[in-house]
Amino acid sequence: MKKLTIFLMTLLAFFMLSSMAWVRINLLKPAEIVYPDYIRKVVILDRSASEDAQRNKVEEAMTLEIYKQDERAVRRLTEGLIDACSEFNLYQLERIDERYTRSGKKAVFPKPLTWDEVSALCEKHQADAILAIEIFDSDFIVTNPAQIIKQTIEGVIISGRGIDLYGIATINFGIRLYDPVSKMIADEYQGTHRMNINAGAYSVQDVINYVLNKVEAVNQAGYYAGQLYGERISPSSYSVVREFYNKPKKNTDLRTGVRRSEVADWNGAIESWTRALDARRKIAGRAAYNIAVGWEVLGEIEKAKEWASMAYTEYNEKMAKEYYDQLVYRQREEAIMRRQMPQGQ
């Protein structure tokens, strides 16, 4: 009985999905935090170098750490941060080449810069604030032992001991924003980004290539860690998928509207779906729901809300309630975005 229930639920889900068309819509997400209005130019300072110049040999052996790996990965983090903020240019971000040292443990924020140091750096670089990367630690942990793998040469499988490795590149980072005007740390953020990698090796050259891939994996993890923080302080783009009804296909107006949507004729699609409102109640509810999606694609959110509300209240189209809530949330995000953007942009 239990197996039959699972089968019927799976079958029902299949028919529901097959009755839906979809469209991808690009949206904007507001920044989590916005710096004060007087902060426009921000210099990015690498303050993650440890005062202890002696390398930890145990850590190097366990994590396959490469010389100056963190320094390069910090640079990639900076690039990711700048790229994430480049679309809207709320701030002028500039990386400086100096690398400052810090004391204390890698995973803990060090003692803050003094305000005299912050003011001196701002004056030197004609900046309004200092964005300091103060925690940075990259690790690459091998998650499985060497495995026996088979090598194929000219179609012949040769069995032998090779290296088949799986690992995780991890970036732990912490960032502070120093505001010299208020003499406050305007933001303090600590995060982690992980990236999986796997590789096989049969020869010394393969091992070298693997190590290079490992370095690149750490650098990429650093870049995406920078994007993570960049999306915290700047609006960012993301996409959502909106589903709408594709059945019953025997209703020519509903189906014609779907075909028009497939060639981006959304005004024509709405026109066809409007004619489908004269059909029986269930089809009319689906048509009203589709019209709501059409208006959202065209950027008419208020009209989309009106039709989603009508589909739910007048035709009892249950999907329309959740969709209406999504539209309300989108409007709220857009209102926040407008407050975050500088005048004239």
Cα angle: 206, vertex 207, 213; to 5 degrees: 90
Chain segment 172-214, per-residue pLDDT in tens: 999 999 999 999 999 999 999 988 766 555 554 454 455 556 7
| Length of the chain (residues) | 345
pLDDT tens across 153-170, in order? Answer: 555 455 555 555 667 889
Residues 199 and 256 in one domain: no
226 lies in a domain?
Answer: yes
Same domain flag for 284 and 324: yes
CB 152 within 8 A of CB 209: no
Together in a domain, 225 and 251: no
81 Cβ contact list (under 8 Å, min separation 6):
44, 93, 226, 227, 229, 230
Query: Do residues 224 and 263 both lie within one domain?
Result: no
**Of 220, 237, 254, which residue constitutes the final position of a domain?**
237
> Terminus-to-terminus CA distance in the chain, angstroms?
62
Q: pTM, whole model, 2 decimals? A: 0.75
DSSP states of 171-190 as a string? EEEEEEEEETTTTEEEEEEE
Of 186, 206, 237, the domain-final residue: 237
> 206 is in which domain, residue-wise?
41-143+169-237
- Most confident range (mean pLDDT) of 103-107, 149-153, 165-169, 246-250 is 246-250
- 58 vs 64: CA distance, rounded Å: 10
Per-residue pLDDT band for 291 (boundaries 50, 70, 90) equals very high
Last-in-domain residue among 237, 265, 297: 237
Tokens matching residue 333: 């995000």
